[in-house]
Amino acid sequence: MTHKLGDAAAKGEVKIDLEANPMGVANPDQTPPKESKNPIHLRTSGLVFNQKTGNAGTDQRIEFRTAQASGSAVGARYAANDRILTLESQIDINAVPAECMPHYGHPRHHYQRPAEY
């Protein structure tokens, strides 16, 4: 990756919980939301983050996990203005069947497997 002014680079392992924060624009300090709803958990290395744009990327292997899917890829880019995470190559996604997805609204997230599972 080409480095620009304002870039911060991490050579070791990086873990990130990425979540849309609609109030982030109203709070210039990017205060985290009071409640975490459905973050994307990411683990990678070689991450480059630009503090001016909020964009980030890596050319290394990245693993991700959400309530709906998990998987990995090689290389990823996050465009902060568009709030889009793009996986670049060797993409492997394991989706969770709809009947196994968490049921929200309950104080604790729980997973319900179908009877024949």
Q: Smallest Cα–Cα separation from 70: which of 111, 27, 40?
A: 40
Q: How far apart are CA 50 and CA 48, in angstroms?
A: 7
Q: Is the pTM of this model over 0.85?
A: no
Quick one: the chain helix, strand, coil %, rounded to 5? 5, 50, 45
Residue with token string 């980030």: 56
Q: Measured in Å, how far apart are the chain's first and last C-alpha atoms?
A: 44
Pairing of strands 84-95, 69-79: antiparallel
Q: What is the pLDDT of residues 11-62, one digit of tens each?
A: 899 998 877 665 555 555 556 656 667 788 999 999 999 998 989 999 999 9
